[in-house]
Structure 1
């Protein structure tokens, strides 16, 4: 009789706990998952360049997402570790994007400088062309572009609002941007 390797036993326990969280909202199973993954996620984020305090907060947020999105876990598609670390990776990307946004005090205040009349006309024509191009997009793509660029939401925030998978959102936005680039020439 062959003995099951320890890493296979650990994987089986993690899957079992994740399924208990997914199917029964089992708090004890979640506590075990939290104890296993939270320090590993924090270490992953620190190695990726996050400040330790930010990594701690982000790890907590990732584990809350694991609890809230447990119904989406499918053991046939990914291991528990892959699923959790994908959430952590995406959250790290969201934080990096947020950190790159300018703070209000970094934005210029006061009246805009006067533009030449020709520049204003060109800008108006381009704005009109963009409006027409936006109206030409399929509704699903247009709504995502509006949420992303006019609503200033991250892809993750759009996924949370719409309930669509993150990959679908990214694909639709990428397709819409390609169509807009083509329409704008």
Structure 2
């Protein structure tokens, strides 16, 4: 009679939750590498599907796993699956990156617009200046006067004006700057320094 060994159950790989707990409690590098190896490509795929550029997706992955390493001790497997916890971090890192990009983009254009708006409000402050303003507008080249009217009277964005006039955005901005400079020259009372 031949005795055979009983089949041994296959050893299951550790669950992601267990790996994350090991990273949190013991700063276990092998557990961290296992999490990174599993989740990094999935996070990248998720980011690319949701419109992130490749470089932005890579940055999100890097920032996500720095946070995973630093905050793994706060992970509670009773509250969330490891995948939920890690993807939430990744999502938040992407939102932070988008906010930074938007802040820089909006700030660079809005500073010029705020300055122009402030100058326009300053020009209209006195009732007596209205006549001088109308006269000054009439003295501008028609294309500059039209752009000023669209920007300040119709409250259109530079981008909207560029689209409606079929002009490059840079052309609209430079014409508005030139027009405002001319207005400033005409509207600044004698003896006052121009800003």
Aligned to 2:15: 13
**Structure 2: any 5+ residue segments left out of the alignment?**
1-8, 127-195
* Structure 2 residue matching 1:39: 3-state secondary structure: helix
1:21-170 matched pairs, under 5 angstroms: 21-103=23-105, 105-106=108-109, 107-108=111-112, 112-113=118-119, 114=122, 116=125
Q: Which runs of 4+ in 1 moved over 2 A?
A: 102-107, 109-112
Deviations 1:35-75 (Å, cap 9, x if unpaired)? 11111111111111100111011111111111011111000
Cα distance in 1 for partners of 2:55, 2:104 equals 22
Let me know the Cα RMSD of the aligned residues: 2.7
Deviations 1:73-96 (Å, cap 9, x if unpaired)? 000000000000011111111122
Deviations 1:117-160 (Å, cap 9, x if unpaired)? 7xxxxxxxxxxxxxxxxxxxxxxxxxxxxxxxxxxxxxxxxxxx
TM-score by length of 1: 0.53
TM-score by length of 2: 0.51
My pick for the range that moved more, 98-107 or 62-71, is: 98-107
Deviations 1:95-124 (Å, cap 9, x if unpaired)? 22222214454221868412637xxxxxxx
Larger radius of gyration: 2
**In the comparison of the two structures, how many residue pairs are matched?**
112
**Structure 1: any 5+ residue segments left out of the alignment?**
118-185
